[in-house]
Amino acid sequence: MIEIQKEFKCAKEKFIEIDKSARKSGRRLKKADKQDGEKGEGEKKLEKSGRVIGSKRIRRSSKKVSKVVEKHIERVEKAAKEFQERRPVLFKKKSSSEPEANQSPENPVDALPDAWRDAVLTPDCLVAIDKFVNFYTQLGVQGLRNEFAQNKAFVPAAFTYNAFTANAERNRYKDVVCSDATRISLTLQVPPETDYIHANRVKLDGADKEFITCQAPIETTINDHWRLVHQEEVSVCAALCQFNESGKAKCTQYWPMKADEFVNHGKMSVNTKKIVQENCLDVYTVEVLPEGCSNSTILKLIHMTTWPDRGVPKDVRTMLNLLRLIYFNAQGSIMIHCSAGIGRTGSVIAVDCIIERLLKGKETKLLDVFQDLRSQRASSVQTESQYVFVVQVVLEFIQIRTGDKYAAKVKKFNEEFVKANLA
């Protein structure tokens, strides 16, 4: 931008200087022509030869000046065109209410939430990062797979799920239980409606954010889902599954898919006000209004359809970009769900917690986060591929923030991941 501004200033100064010269030459020509008319015939003949020569010289100079002027006009126009083309990038402002649509972060650091991108890497933070990188790159992908195999059946002490058992018809899966200890009870429209929904609060040790985790709604629980959204004043909901995957129903469509459409679910009115796209994510602005209530809840619903069930995304930065959008829109409670609300959902929360802890200078192990997470949302981080992927995402974050310091180690880990064919 500075170079273009200098080009404008330089071209403008030259243009003014040349324009003055051209005007001066023009006045001399006019003065000479006027004098031709005013002088006597004899005097004209005496001065004719010198006048003609002088006039020709001035005209030649004028033509030369004109060409130079044209050249600089072209330069100014070219600079102006380049300036206008670059202006959206140079002066792009982040909206206070909406991410830019269809903008893929070109710089890796722009894929990070602002809080992570701008965080100061203190000495304690750098020590925690160094220990994390060294431990997991030495443990390797196979070591992580072995660790998951040894702990995949982990269940916390005194774990109960009585409400889950009593509401079998409201659960999507019979084998994915809902912990009584962290279960969220519905209060809106109770009675006559039930207070049960397959949802838990998750607040991990060392993390700042609390998450509402839940299963994808089934046909009979769409109303319950929107009651939960309004009750908890959810500002952003990340839906991480498609409605159907591999020929199986994974999530009932519970919001209008077109802008300006609305639908009623029980006593809840749901209106999709706007839709934008961000990379592989569709971001819906949705308004929810209970019957007889004047205060609506407006949230951003981020729909991600490229994360396969029980698997991981192809691009590791997809997870970071998802978290960037979640952070950007999180003005209130954060809700995350996939189909069961444990595998993909748990992976996102685990990544968030580990990075938050590292930025605070706290030494962190995935196994500790995994067990803490499963104590609050049963069966979270469902597969070995997701378990390893959590570390891969954190390593990508570390490489973005620290440059080439750990590049060789991260590259080796990624190659092991590809070779293991876990994606």
For 353, the token pair is 């917690």
Same domain, 67 and 146: no
**Do 297 and 261 share a structural domain?**
yes
- Catalytic (active site) residue 338: yes
Instruction: Quickly tell me which residue has 């916390």 as its tokens.
Output: 156
Residue 312 lies in a domain: yes
In a domain, 100, yes or no: no
Residues 201 and 337 in one domain: yes
Contact 344, 386 (CB under 8 A): yes
Clarify whether residues 86 and 208 are in a common domain.
no
Neighbours of 247 (CB within 10 A): 5
Residue predicted with more confidence, 95 or 296: 296
Residue 410 lies in a domain: yes
Distance of alpha carbon 30 from alpha carbon 122, whole angstroms? 75
The pLDDT tens digits of the residues spanning 9-24 come to 555 555 456 555 555 5
What is the C-alpha separation between 272 and 42, in angstroms, rounded?
92
Please tell me the distance from the alpha carbon of residue 6 to that of residue 1, in angstroms, as a whole number: 9
Query: Is residue 101, in this structure, part of any structural domain at all?
Result: no
Place of tokens 């004209």: 44
Residue 96: pLDDT band with limits 50, 70, 90: very low
Q: Is 333 in the same domain as 260? A: yes
Domain that holds residue 220: 111-420
Q: Is 207 left (phi over 0), alpha (psi -120 to 50) or beta?
A: beta
The pLDDT assigned to 24 comes to 58
Structure token digits, residue 166: 């009593």
- CA 71 to CA 258: how far, in whole Å? 53
pLDDT in tens, 122-166: 999 999 999 999 999 999 999 999 999 999 999 999 899 999 999
Catalytic residue among 125, 214, 338, 353: 338
- Domain count of the chain? 2
Residues 179 and 326 in one domain: yes
* 76 and 128 fall within a common domain: no
- 191: preceding bond cis by omega (within 30 degrees): yes
Residues 6+ apart with CB under 8 A from 149: 384
Q: Is residue 294 part of a domain?
A: yes
- Identify whether the C-beta of residue 213 lies closer than 8 Å to the C-beta of residue 336: yes
| DSSP β-bridge partners for residue 277 | 282
Residues 50 and 121 in one domain: no
Same domain, 145 and 274: yes
Q: Kindly tell me the sign of the dihedral angle through the C-alpha atoms of 407, 413, 414, 419.
A: positive
> Based on C-alpha coordinates, what's the Rg of the chain?
34
